Structure formats: structure tokens, C-alpha cells
């Protein structure tokens, strides 16, 4: 029987909160940086899920989001390359609904069950926007979650699945819309969320001949805190059974929200626990989960617990508005950007997406970018591929450029990074506070993170940047 064999999560470093100027709200929510989007966050969560696993063992990749940076281009193909998965795998994007994450999970379970031994990875992320400081903006947040499924070493068994489809138009975005639209609150809650959740959960429990008392935990999506409490009360779930829905901490992350709440429950679960898991959107997907003793082998992920605790409060909400280009700022007086060469992106895809360089077979010295001649022993054409994106590094030197950073996030900080095990590369630095970066940072440890470099000519250009070590070892 196929089930969950691993999980991972990602929550952006930056948050807005009570002390953020011009925010004015007593709640906290996660904010994706200016160079993050649903693709980069989905990759981050998936890498947390993979941890020390063999990436080449993955047989299928599902990416779920309602905020794809492309209308026509498969994110799963890009994400698979960035994670250095095999090319001969099934890749699929699942979109256009808030329950895309749980729908992708159902598809992954079917894939893994169809042929013994196969592994399917589901990663989901969203970066949804509402009117600044409006009701939706207060409850939403950015983030990602990932689940691995297989029929081997199952940590969470799936004892039942129930789905319900409903065409209720409660929240939506049409092509060209930057922000989420919704109808009148009372109508969409009465006839949408409340009715659909009630009908679907009631149908699932009836099918399985179970009640609220049969579950250790219940983890589910909700649009806001009060509605989350209404569902628990209707079915008689005790407060101790209800997993924290993350409002006021990171916020509702769209397609990733239900999976993030589930991961929070799994991080505290023990063998024998039974979890009711519900994804919502244009209907609902409901899972009857049972935790096995293999859950103890999954305690080494950063997961939701680690990422929630690792944070930096944004000083001014206007910084977020600049990141989302909702307020203008004068750009440097330089020629307009042009799109990157698609030919070059294809030709150098191995160097760019999984960040492969070379390592000399004669002396073992790694170097980036790929070389034919070893810069250490000068041996010709004795190179093998070498992945740098999963290596830690230290700052050898850096420079600040107040013009190159543009209007969104000046100054640009460019570093020269020495990698553990050898090799050196020039990388931009992200998730940093410019005022803190000084000469004392020479020798500081950094991690690599997959980020967006630019957007021009309709092309999103991605590469790896360095960031201050988020989880010091």
C-alpha cells in the first residue's frame, strides 16, 4: 500500500508583524522575498523533503500552485532540473484550484500504487496577493510544503480517501488578475466553505463508519481562524485534536496551506496516531491517515517547526509593497533589461539549474563553471560532473553596488564563495540586511538557495544565490 514516506516544508525568512511600520496589524505572516515565487519555494520545500535521499530515485514529480509564474510552461520540468532529478520521470503541474496540493497527492498515491517500488514527489507552493492590509491580506501568507509517497518504508499509511467536487465560485483569479477576487463574504462562507466542508467530512466519516473520536488529530484548510473553529465545533473535535492552522504565525499559504498544517501534525505524531486530513477548493479531498513507527526516521527535516522559528521581521511594510511592485520607486538610469537568450539557457542548463561544474579526475579539484582544463593541475579533458548547489560555502570577499540593485532591493551584494570540498563561484546574496554586511562577514558560512534573477522579455530567469546560513550546524 502506498503512503507518505517523507515530508518537507518551506516558510520564507521575512515576516510582517506587530512592530512592522505601516502594517498596523497585530498578526504575523510570512512574506516571500522579491526574488522568490511559487517555483523557488516549491523547490526549497522539495529539497527539505528529500534531505539525504537519493534524488535519482524519484520517479514522478507533481508541482501544485495557483500562482505559477508561467501561463504556458511546465514548472515541474524546471523544478525537476533544479533539484537534479532524472529526466526520464513523469512531471505534472496541478493548478487552478486551492486543493491542487491534495489533488496532486491523490495522483501521486495512485502512481506509486500502480507499480511497486516507485516514488512520487509532490511539492506545492503559493504566493497569492490581496488588497494590501485588507481582510485577505491579513490571513494569507507565502510558503510551500512537500510530500514523498511510495509503497516502501511508509511512515504514514493512507487507509481511505474521499473526494467531493463542487463548482462554487468563492475565490478566483482570471487571466491578467494580480489579486484574488471573491464574492460577498456571508454567501461564499455559508454556501461555499461551510457547506462543502460539512458535506465532504460528513460523507467521508459515513463512508468509513468513523467519528471525530477515532482521530488523534485533524488537519485542514480554512480561509480564516473563525471558520476553522466552526468546522471543529460542528464535528465535535476537542481542542487538543485540532492542529494549529498557522494564522497569526505564517498565514494561509493557498495550495500549500493544508499540507503545511498536516506536516505540523506529523512533526509531533507518534506511531498509532490517526489523522483526518482535508484539502479544500472547488470541493474537498479527505484522507484517513495512520502513523507508523517509521515516522521516527523523519525527524531530521527542517520542516514547519524549523522554518517557523527561523524568521526576520520586516521593518517597513512599504518594503513588501516595493517587492510586489505595488508602489513605484525610481530605477537606476540604465538601458531597459532584455530577456535572456533562450539558446544560452538551454545550452548551459546543467550549469544553471542544478548548478553543475566539473571535478578533475586527476587531482580531485572542483571548479565552477565547467572547465576542460583543470585550474589546479592543468590536466586536459579529465573532468567529471560535480554538483555545487547542495554544498555549503564561506564568503571569500564581497562587493556592494547601490545602482545594480535597482529600485526593489538596493544595494546589490555580490559575493565570491569558497565551497566546502573545493571550488569557488561568484554569486549574488539574498535574504540579508545590507547594513549588517561588513568586513566581519569575510569567512561567514552561507547556504545556496534557488532564486529568480530577473524577468524580462516574458522569461523568468532562475539561478542559485547564497544566503546567510539559516540553520547553523
- Residue 107, in any domain of the structure: yes
Please check whether residues 54 and 134 belong to one and the same domain. Answer: yes
> What is the C-alpha to C-alpha distance for residues 12 and 129, in angstroms, rounded to an integer?
15
Shared-domain flag, residues 228 and 314 = yes
Q: Which has the closest alpha carbon to 382: 364, 402, 405?
A: 364
Judgement on whether residues 309 and 360 belong to the same structural domain of the protein: no
Cα 185 to Cα 175: distance, rounded to the nearest angstrom: 23
Residues 48 and 102 in one domain: yes
Distance CA 463, CA 345 (A): 11
- 309 and 408 assigned to the same domain: no
Query: Total structural domains in the chain?
Result: 2
| pLDDT at residue 403, as a whole number | 75
DSSP code at position 331: P
Torsion 75-156-115-281 (CA) sign:
negative
pLDDT reported for residue 80: 98
Domain end call among 323, 353, 385: 323
228 domain residue, yes or no: yes
Is residue 328 situated within a structural domain? no
> Given this model, what pLDDT does residue 156 score?
98
68 and 134 together in one domain: yes
**C-alpha Rg value of the chain to the nearest Å:** 23
Phi-psi region of 26 (alpha: psi -120 to 50; beta: other; left: phi over 0): alpha
Cα dihedral 93, 408, 44, 223 sign: negative
CATH number at residue 416: 2.40.50.840
Per-residue b/e over 285-309, b at no fewer than 16 CB within 10 Å?
bbbbbbbbebbeebeebbbbebbbe
Q: Are residues 228 and 356 in the same domain?
A: no
Q: Is residue 171 within 8 Å of 182, Cβ to Cβ?
A: yes
Q: Is 157 found in the same domain as 304?
A: yes
pLDDT for 215 equals 98
- In this structure, are residues 262 and 101 in contact, taking their beta carbons and an 8 Å threshold? no
Q: Are residues 305 and 399 in the same domain?
A: no
* C-alpha closest to that of 110 among 88, 90, 87: 90
What domain range is 98 assigned to?
3-323
pLDDT score, position 335: 63
Grid cell, residue 421, equals 570540498
Report residue 234 as a C-alpha cell. Answer: 460542528
- Mark which of 292, 323, 354 sits at the end of a domain: 323
**287 and 415 housed in the same domain:** no
| pLDDT value of residue 331 | 62
255 in a domain, yes or no?
yes
CA 127 and chain centroid, separation: 10
Cell of 32: 516571500
Q: What is each CA distance from 416 to 49, 190, 387, 397, 432, in whole angstroms?
A: 29, 56, 17, 5, 16
Phi, psi of 323 (to 5 degrees): -60, -40
Decide if 329 is inside a domain.
Answer: no
Residue 232 lies in a domain: yes
Q: Cis omega before residue 369 (within 30°)? A: yes
Backbone angles phi, psi at 188, to 5 degrees: -70, -25
Per-residue pLDDT at 457: 86
pLDDT of residue 19: 92
pLDDT for residue 134: 83
Please choose, from the candidates 466, 472, 437, the residue with its C-alpha nearest in 3D space to the C-alpha of residue 451: 466
Asked if 464 contacts 428 with a C-beta cutoff of 8 angstroms, the reply is no
Distance CA 416, CA 87 (A): 31
Q: Give the end of a domain, one of 288, 323, 358.
A: 323
10-residue mean pLDDT profile of the chain (473 residues): values are 95 95 90 97 98 95 97 97 98 96 97 94 96 87 98 96 95 90 88 95 97 97 93 95 95 96 97 97 97 93 95 93 80 66 89 96 95 94 96 96 71 94 95 92 97 91 96 85
Q: How far, in Å, CA of 223 to CA of 219, rounded?
A: 13
What is the number of other CB atoms lying within 10 angstroms of the CB of residue 443?
A: 9
Residue 337 lies in a domain: no
CB atoms within 10 A of CB 231: 22
Amino acid at each position: 500500500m502506498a503512503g507518505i514516506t517523507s515530508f518537507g516544508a518551506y516558510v520564507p525568512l521575512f515576516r510582517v508583524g506587530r512592530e512592522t511600520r505601516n502594517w498596523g496589524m497585530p498578526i504575523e505572516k510570512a512574506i516571500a522575498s522579491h526574488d522568490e515565487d511559487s517555483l523557488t519555494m516549491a523547490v526549497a520545500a522539495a529539497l527539505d523533503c528529500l534531505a539525504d535521499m537519493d534524488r535519482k530515485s524519484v520517479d514522478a514529480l507533481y508541482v501544485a500552485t495557483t500562482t505559477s509564474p508561467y501561463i504556458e510552461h511546465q514548472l515541474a520540468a524546471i523544478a525537476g532540473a533544479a533539484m537534479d532529478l532524472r529526466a526520464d520521470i513523469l512531471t505534472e503541474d496541478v493548478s487552478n484550484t486551492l486543493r491542487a496540493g491534495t489533488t496532486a497527492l491523490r495522483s501521486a498515491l495512485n502512481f506509486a500504487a500502480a507499480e511497486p517500488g516507485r516514488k512520487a514527489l509532490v511539492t506545492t507552493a503559493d504566493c497569492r496577493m490581496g488588497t494590501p492590509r485588507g481582510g485577505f491580506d491579513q490571513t494569507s501568507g507565502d510558503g510551500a510544503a512537500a510530500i514523498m509517497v511510495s509503497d516502501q518504508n511508509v511512515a504514514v499509511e493512507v487507509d481511505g480517501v474521499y473526494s467531493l467536487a463542487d463548482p462554487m465560485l468563492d475565490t478566483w483569479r482570471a487571466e491578467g488578475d494580480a489579486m484574488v477576487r471573491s464574492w460577498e463574504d456571508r454567501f461564499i462562507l455559508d454556501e461555499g466553505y461551510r457547506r462543502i466542508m460539512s458535506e465532504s467530512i460528513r460523507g467521508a466519516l459515513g463512508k468509513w463508519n468513523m467519528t471525530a473520536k477515532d482521530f488523534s488529530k485533524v488537519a485542514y484548510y480554512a480561509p480564516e481562524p473563525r471558520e476553522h473553529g466552526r468546522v471543529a465545533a460542528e464535528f465535535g473535535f476537542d481542542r487538543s485534536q485540532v492542529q494549529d492552522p498557522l494564522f497569526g504565525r505564517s498565514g494561509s499559504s493557498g495550495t500549500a496551506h493544508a499540507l503545511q498544517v498536516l506536516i505540523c501534525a506529523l512533526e509531533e505524531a507518534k506511531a498509532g496516531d490517526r489523522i483526518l486530513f482535508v484539502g479544500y477548493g472547488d470541493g474537498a479531498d479527505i484522507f484517513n491517515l495512520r502513523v507508523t513507527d517509521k515516522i521516527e526516521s523523519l525527524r531530521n527535516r527542517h520542516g514547519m517547526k524549523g522554518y517557523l522559528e527561523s524568521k526576520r521581521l520586516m521593518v517597513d511594510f512599504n518594503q513588501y509593497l516595493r517587492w510586489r511592485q505595488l508602489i513605484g520607486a525610481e530605477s537606476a538610469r540604465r538601458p531597459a533589461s532584455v530577456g535572456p537568450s533562450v539558446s544560452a539557457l538551454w545550452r548551459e542548463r546543467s550549469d544553471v539549474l542544478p548548478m553543475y561544474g566539473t571535478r578533475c579526475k586527476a587531482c580531485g579539484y572542483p571548479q565552477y563553471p565547467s572547465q576542460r582544463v583543470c585550474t589546479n593541475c592543468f590536466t586536459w579533458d579529465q573532468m567529471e560532473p560535480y554538483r555545487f548547489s547542495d554544498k555549503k560555502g564561506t564568503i571569500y570577499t564581497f562587493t556592494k553596488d547601490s545602482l545594480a540593485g535597482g529600485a526593489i532591493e538596493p544595494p546589490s551584494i555580490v559575493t565570491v564563495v569558497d565551497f566546502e570540498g573545493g571550488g569557488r563561484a561568484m554569486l549574488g546574496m539574498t535574504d540579508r540586511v545590507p547594513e549588517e554586511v561588513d568586513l566581519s562577514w569575510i569567512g561567514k558560512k552561507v547556504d545556496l538557495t534557488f532564486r529568480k534573477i530577473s524577468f524580462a522579455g516574458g522569461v523568468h530567469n532562475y539561478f542559485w544565490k547564497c544566503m546567510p546560513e539559516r540553520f547553523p550546524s
